[in-house]
Amino acid sequence: MFEAIQNGVRRVSSEGGFAIPTVLFVLIAAFAVGTAAVVASMGAQSGATRDLNTKAALAAAEDGVENALLRYNRVGTAGGSQLCRPMGATSPRADGWCPAPYADPEGRYVYWVRPSLTELEIVSAGTVEGVTRRVQVHAASAQSTLGGKKPFTEHSVIGLDYITQAANTEITASVATNGDVTQAGTPNSRINCSDGSVQVGPSGVVKPSPPKVDCPVTQGWSELIPVNQGDVAQVNDNDRITRAKNGDPGGDTISGQASRVDWDPNARTLTLNQNVSITLGGANYSLCRLETKQNTNIFIVAGAKVRIYFDSPENCGFTGPTTQLKMNQNSSIQGSSGSQVDLALLFVGSDAIATSVELAQNTVAPGPCSQAFVLYAPRTAVTLAQNAHVCGAIAGKSVTVAQNSKITASNLASEFELPGTESQYYTGYKPATFIECTAIDPPSGAPEQGC
Is the per-residue pLDDT at 437 higher than 60? Answer: yes
Output 107 or 318, whichever has higher pLDDT.
318
Q: Where are the alpha helices (DSSP H) in 144-297?
A: 238-246
Q: Helix (H, G, I), strand (E, B), or coil: what is residue 280?
A: strand
Output 59 or 361, whichever has higher pLDDT.
59
What's the pLDDT score for residue 39? Answer: 46
What's the pLDDT score for residue 443? Answer: 75
Structure confidence at residue 303 as a pLDDT band (50, 70, 90): confident
Provide the mean pLDDT of the chain: 86
Is the per-residue pLDDT at 347 higher than 50? Answer: yes
Q: Helix (H, G, I), strand (E, B), or coil: what is residue 52?
A: helix
Structure confidence at residue 325 as a pLDDT band (50, 70, 90): very high
Is the per-residue pLDDT at 155 higher than 80? Answer: yes
One-letter amino acid of 121: E
Structure confidence at residue 268 as a pLDDT band (50, 70, 90): very high
Is the per-residue pLDDT at 9 higher than 80? Answer: no
**Tens digit of pLDDT for each residue in 159-172?**
999 999 999 999 99
Is the per-residue pLDDT at 249 higher than 50? Answer: yes
Is the per-residue pLDDT at 38 higher than 50? Answer: no
Contact 349, 228 (CB under 8 A): no
**Tens digit of pLDDT for each residue in 78-103?**
666 688 988 888 788 888 999 889 99
Burial of 253 (0-12, 13-18, 19+ CB in 10 A): middle
Is the per-residue pLDDT at 147 higher than 60? Answer: yes
Instruction: Kindly list the domain boundaries of the chain, sorted by start residue.
Output: 2-145+427-437, 157-421
Percentage of the chain lying above the pLDDT 70 cut: 82
Is the per-residue pLDDT at 42 higher than 60? Answer: no
What's the pLDDT score for residue 1? Answer: 45
Is the per-residue pLDDT at 367 higher than 70? Answer: no
Q: Helix (H, G, I), strand (E, B), or coil: what is residue 317?
A: coil
Contact 441, 206 (CB under 8 A): no
What's the pLDDT score for residue 160? Answer: 98
What's the pLDDT score for residue 27? Answer: 62
Is the per-residue pLDDT at 231 higher than 70? Answer: yes
Output 352 or 5, whichever has higher pLDDT.
352
**Tens digit of pLDDT for each residue in 115-133?**
987 889 999 999 999 899 9
Is the per-residue pLDDT at 32 higher than 70? Answer: no
What DSSP character marks residue 327? E
What DSSP character marks residue 336? P
Mean pLDDT of all residues in 192-210: 93
Mean pLDDT of all residues in 52-58: 92
Structure confidence at residue 20 as a pLDDT band (50, 70, 90): low
Residue 299 forms beta bridges with which residues?
279, 334
One-letter amino acid of 143: Q
As a whole number of angstroms, the distance between CA 21 and CA 19 comes to 6
Output 100 or 176, whichever has higher pLDDT.
176
As a whole number of angstroms, the distance between CA 89 and CA 103 comes to 14
Mean pLDDT of all residues in 343-366: 87
Output 269 or 299, whichever has higher pLDDT.
269
What's the pLDDT score for residue 43? Answer: 47
From the centroid of its chain, how far is CA 45?
Answer: 57
As a whole number of angstroms, the distance between CA 46 and CA 414 comes to 71
